[in-house]
Copies of this chain bind each other. A is one copy, B any other.
Amino acid sequence: MNSLDSVRSIRRPSLHEELTDTLRTMIVEGVLVAGEKVPERKLCEKLGVSRTPMREALKVLAADGLLTLQPNRGAKVRGITVEELEEVFPLMGALEALAGELACANVSDAQMNQIRFSHEAMLDCYHSSDMPGYFRHNQRIHELILEAAGNQALSDMYRTLAVRVRRARYLANMSKERWRMAVAEHEQILLALEARDPQELGGILKRHLENKFATVRHWLNSQQSRE
């Protein structure tokens, strides 16, 4: 066996791939504001790239549902309406339930430990009222469950949807009461996963999601009536 066999060719991502990720992040973080036009030229200058890879990235993000392309009028950040949320919610519910089922069957001990670790870290954030930290660890846990499910196609689909609602979820702050409840639900999630109970886990994940969405829906409605 040659010693060079283990040297993997370095993966240099193409510009449009990097741009897709960058823009996606900018949308989720609200740097690119929902409803507003994507300033193509400015972004190109700011990021030091030409329009070609930028426009490729825009096309991909539009296919992902994060932007809408208006012929001859550029791209707009799509955001999410209450109606769209009502569509996306049952979809994510079905995917979460499936992820839960699969995770119970496939989660490894190492993965289980990672989940426990993130769970604890999330609890710490809760007790110190660190919302951004909580949000981050929360997201991580769901990512880990998805990973434990061991289904790439499922992960991809779920993530596409999750990104679409993430911004709204972040902006829709939980009430103290709702936060307490969410933490309780997460305790149940951990328990069901440790017990490898697919039925139970699928159910809790769906209920948990339902509650999260109730919060977002409430916020979206209040936003809509504000205009």
Instruction: State the A residues within 8 Å of B (CB).
Output: 11-14, 16, 52, 55-57, 59-60, 63-65, 69, 71, 84, 87-88, 90-91, 94-95, 97-98, 102, 151-154, 156-157, 161
Contact = CB atoms under 8 A, between A and B. Distances in A.
Q: Which of A52, A87, A95 has the most CB of B within 10 A?
A: A87
A116 to B, nearest CB: 26
The 10 closest A-B pairs by CB, nearest first: A87-B153, A94-B98, A60-B63, A94-B94, A56-B59, A87-B151, A88-B153, A59-B60, A91-B153, A91-B154
Nearest to A93: B98
A102 to B, nearest CB: 7
A71 B152 contact: no
Contacts of A161: 153, 157
A166 B161 CA distance: 23
A96 to B, nearest CB: 10
Nearest to A12: B71
A153 B85 CA distance: 10
B56 A91 contact: no
Nearest to A52: B52
Given A16-B59, A90-B154, A91-B98, 17 more contacts: A13-B71, A56-B59, A57-B59, A59-B59, A59-B60, A60-B63, A87-B153, A87-B154, A88-B153, A90-B98, A91-B153, A91-B154, A91-B157, A94-B97, A94-B98, A153-B161, A157-B161
